[in-house]
Amino acid sequence: VWNLEPGRTLAPHKNETAKRNYGINIARKQGYTHFIVMDFDEFYLQDEFMREKERIHRENLTGLVCRLKVHFKVPTLCCDDHTLVPFIHKLETWTASGSFQDYPFAYDAAGNAHIDPTRRLNYTSGIAMSDILCHHYSWVRADFEVKINNSAARDNLRRSTIYADLAAAAPGVYNNFYRKTLEECPNYFNL
């Protein structure tokens, strides 16, 4: 998976991992010292981002992990997710993304996974928890079927409560998929 070229012929999980490693390899070839693992529908608030960028250097960390806030159906509805995401990391000659079991924070004490296997890095130390949020517009889109069909977890999504949750989405409504109550939040991009 570390050397695969991303493409439509790969299984979704392998393709997602291949895309992440493709990006890491481009950063490495261009001489970057650090990188961020993130998707096109994710963002960080600029002041928080800059603070944590300085923290990496100040504390000489290998990387940071942060919590995720998912935006659901519209930009102004959100809830916390149990998922954690790798944030800024030092880039080494051997850096790779994949289903690395020993990546810090990947699992909690009870053995529950909290980091997507396509995002886990092959680091085992020097990783700290950040207090900032990664905002994920995961379910803010015109066509939810495209999201589901392109997901590495598409079979699980189709069996889940996601369709009913999308239909019922409103402030104060309990979202079964995330097991959280939806809250109102700022419309960061005036969408």
pLDDT at 177: 95
pLDDT at 3: 61
Q: What is the largest CA-CA distance in the chain?
A: 47
pLDDT at 180: 96
CA-based angle 7:114:69, to the nearest 5? 85
What distance in Å separates the CA atoms of residue 174 and residue 112, rounded to the nearest whole number? 22
pLDDT at 2: 54
Backbone angles phi, psi at 163, to 5 degrees: -65, -45
Where is 63: in which H helix or E strand?
A: strand 63-72
Query: The dihedral of CA 9, 150, 161, 131: what is its sign?
Result: positive
pLDDT at 154: 82
pLDDT at 34: 97
pLDDT at 147: 84
Which long-range contacts (C-beta less than 8 Å, at least 24 apart) are formed by 23-28?
24/91, 24/95, 24/96, 24/97, 27/91, 28/91, 28/93, 28/95
pLDDT at 132: 97
pLDDT at 114: 94
Taking the chain (191 residues) in consecutive chunks of 10 residues, what is each chunk's mean pLDDT? Answer: 65 85 95 94 96 97 97 96 96 96 95 94 98 95 87 86 95 97 95 86
